Chain A
Amino acid sequence: EAQVTQNPRYLITVTGKKLTVTCSQNMNHEYMSWYRQDPGLGLRQIYYSMNVEVTDKGDVPEGYKVSRKEKRNFPLILESPSPNQTSLYFCASSRLAGGVVAETQYFGPGTRLLVL
């Protein structure tokens, strides 16, 4: 089954304790992206990757890091989480067609993060 998986699905942590949210897709997609969703603000892009070893900042990259060492995986790293990073996080993937992101982005099930 074609899918995007994220782990963990729910996480409660404390300020300053480094954490990683994993994302994996089995569709051989070149493009992967991380979003956060907050009430009244919608989905905002954190980072994206056009291919292995190619990553770039989205709209709200501060406080986050990513890596793309393998095509299927795109982990999101919070080196020193703060309460303002409490949010719902989605990973997404898509194929590229002629260097352009295809119409459909496939989203993971989301990770609810609470930073105390």
Chain B
Amino acid sequence: RKEVEQDPGPFNVPEGATVAFNCTYSNSASQSFFWYRQDCRKEPKLLMSVYSSGNEDGRFTAQLNRASQYISLLIRDSKLSDSATYLCVVKGGATNKLIFGTGTLLAVQP
């Protein structure tokens, strides 16, 4: 089983739609959680951290369920510019290592 699993997609949605991505992680000792965004052929960039109480940044909402070892990202009012691959990232336990999921591809259609 992969340490971090994501649905690879692609998710094809119209502009203005709400879309949600899910991610599961296997190491219950994981301590920090993030969503990174990666545009085609570019480097990953931090989108947002994920906190236990859930957190929001504009149109983006991230949630964490430690009991189910599950992270989610909700994007409201999708824009064309949201088209990218979204990487679920977990840092954990006794190491400083970031574990990356393989990413979920989002394509927002006009």
Contacts and interface: CB of A to CB of B under 8 A. Distances in A.
B102 A45 contact: no
B59 interface: no
A107 B91 contact: no
A43 B44 CA distance: 10
In the complex, which range does the number of interface residues on chain A fall in? 20 to 34
B73 to A, nearest CB: 16
Contacts, number: 43
Interface in B23-69: 32, 34, 41-46, 49
B42 A42 contact: no
Interface in B59-110: 87, 91, 96-98, 100-103
A44 B87 CA distance: 13
A53 B14 CA distance: 50
B102 A42 contact: yes
A83 B101 CA distance: 24
B70 to A, nearest CB: 18
Contacts of B41: 110
A103 B34 contact: yes
Contacts of B34: 103
A42 B43 contact: no
B43 A109 contact: yes
Contacts of B96: 31, 48, 50, 100-101
A63 B87 CA distance: 26
Given A48-B96, A107-B44, 4 more contacts: A43-B100, A45-B98, A58-B97, A101-B98
Interface of B: 4, 8, 32, 34, 41-46, 49, 87, 91, 96-98, 100-103
